[in-house]
A and B are shown apart, each in its own frame.
Chain A
């Protein structure tokens, strides 16, 4: 079975541009979460989506947005890129049964470099 797939794997942008990152969850998983991992740090929660609705949002500016599609895939959009947005962006999927703690499966991430 395929794991969580993310595209692209690497991306180079310049300041002020926008970027769209894509994620396909494991088949049957209905929840997708996005995390930002700056070099040398732990992943930081950005968003969680379940059944196309936002379930949670981390402490990130409005330049960050996301959505989930009917097939449960997801996009993360970042506008007006800043140098500080350079990071590994991780997508994680889970079944997300309501009220039940579940294993998060992470993809290998998209490495974004902002020049």
Chain B
């Protein structure tokens, strides 16, 4: 019930291409879906987040698509750059079930090649 499944585990994209990472959740009590970017030796940093009342949110080159009925959401990185090479985590949060906690996916290691 608390799992967030993320795919792919790793991704290689050419510079200028589109990177797509997918996540699925089970618990319908989740009401907040952020994406985090993590560089080696650093903590995760929030990229973009969406709530289930909208189907898409765009911030710069980053877009979240959200499908409530399918319980799936995805991150699209347009015009991918070598500086985007990092590990990306989807997460889901709900105010029920013990605090303001996030349940994270297992991560996607993105490499953007020149």
Contacts and interface: CB of A to CB of B under 8 A. Distances in A.
Interface of A: 4, 31, 33, 40-45, 47-48, 54-58, 90, 92, 94, 96, 99, 101-109
Q: Which 6 A-B pairs have CB atoms at the shortest separation, nearest pair first?
A: A56-B99, A42-B104, A106-B43, A56-B98, A48-B99, A55-B99
Contact of A104 (B41, B46, B95): B46
9 contacts: A41-B107, A45-B101, A48-B99, A56-B98, A57-B99, A102-B100, A104-B46, A106-B43, A106-B44
B100 A107 contact: no
Nearest to A45: B101
Interface residues of B, number: 29
Given A42-B106, A101-B31, A106-B43, A48 B89 contact: no
Given A101-B31, A101-B32, A101-B51, A33 B43 contact: no
Interface in B41-93: 41-46, 49, 51, 89, 91, 93
B89 A42 contact: yes
Contacts of B31: 101
B106 to A, nearest CB: 5
Most buried by A among B4, B34, B102: B102
Contacts of A47: 99
A103 B104 contact: no
Given A4-B43, A42-B89, A109-B43, A55 B107 contact: no
Given A55-B100, A57-B98, A103 B46 contact: yes
